[in-house]
Amino acid sequence: MASASFSFPVKRLGAALKIYAILTVLVLISATTLPLDAAASEPASSQAELIIVDSSGSEHRLTEQDFALLPQTTLVTHTAWTEGPRKFEGALARDVLSAAGIEKDFQKIKSIEAVALNDYRISIPATDFTDFDVLIARKMDGKPMTRRDKGPYWIVYPRDENPELAESQYDHRWVWQLWRLQIQ
């Protein structure tokens, strides 16, 4: 009789342990299938909008589709952040500004503030965009860039074509995760 009263709680405990084990396995499986962060699961094309703010404060929004309609340029160059030369595809910065209606006032612009998703910002002399074929890249090595790999847009200088662009003052102007250009 003592064993009968003792075995009932053990059986109940065994059932509870089985349920606990099954739930633990399910939690582990679901945890390994979830992304580490939103950027990891982000499709290459999501949030690929570029905002250009002109000197009057008006915003011009370029969707990924708008950006793709601009004349596209390919640039192969080294960067300070990647190994070996990389192939970048995108639009010249001056063409992006022209698409936002900035072309008519381009000679009056002193600088352009580039803003990244992490709020990094730097003022880039407007002459950079006229003196060099600075690219606003959407693709690197043939693949659209996600936030995880410096996208959705990255300002890329043609440093292999212009040795002076290898100077550190230009490295700070290579804004990745670019989302906004503000005319100053």
Would you say residue 16 has pLDDT above 80? no
Inter-CA distances, 74 with 32, 102, 134, 150, Å? 37, 23, 11, 17
pLDDT at position 21, please?
Answer: 62
Weakest mean pLDDT among 44-48, 89-93, 99-103: 44-48
Would you say residue 112 has pLDDT above 70? yes
Encode 137-149: b = buried (16+ Cβ within 10 Å), e = exposed: bbbbeeebbbbeb
Q: How many domains does the chain have?
A: 2
| 70: CB partners within 8 A, 6+ apart | 91, 95, 96, 99
**Tens-digit pLDDT profile for residues 34-61:** 444 433 333 344 458 999 999 899 999 9
- Owning domain of residue 25: 2-34
78 and 150: one domain? yes
Weakest mean pLDDT among 63-72, 93-102, 154-163: 93-102
CB neighbour class for 80 (10 Å; exposed up to 12, middle 13-18, buried from 19): exposed
Domain with residue 111: its CATH number is 3.90.420.10
Would you say residue 96 has pLDDT above 60? yes
- The segment with the largest mean pLDDT, out of 16-20, 25-29, 127-131, is 127-131
**Tens-digit pLDDT profile for residues 63-87:** 999 999 999 999 999 999 999 999 9
Banded pLDDT at 177 (limits 50, 70, 90) = very high
pLDDT at position 179, please?
Answer: 96
126 and 148: one domain? yes
135 and 80: one domain? yes
Banded pLDDT at 18 (limits 50, 70, 90) = confident
Strand pairing report for 178-183 and 135-140: unpaired
DSSP, collapsed to helix, strand or coil, labels residue 34 as coil
52 and 11: one domain? no
155 and 131: one domain? yes
25 and 60: one domain? no
Contact 135, 156 (CB under 8 A): yes
Report the alpha-carbon distance of residue 79 to residue 160 in Å, rounded.
Answer: 9
Q: What is the mean pLDDT of the chain?
A: 83
113 and 154: one domain? yes
pLDDT at position 15, please?
Answer: 66
Report the alpha-carbon distance of residue 130 to residue 144 in Å, rounded.
Answer: 26
Banded pLDDT at 102 (limits 50, 70, 90) = confident
DSSP, collapsed to helix, strand or coil, labels residue 13 as helix
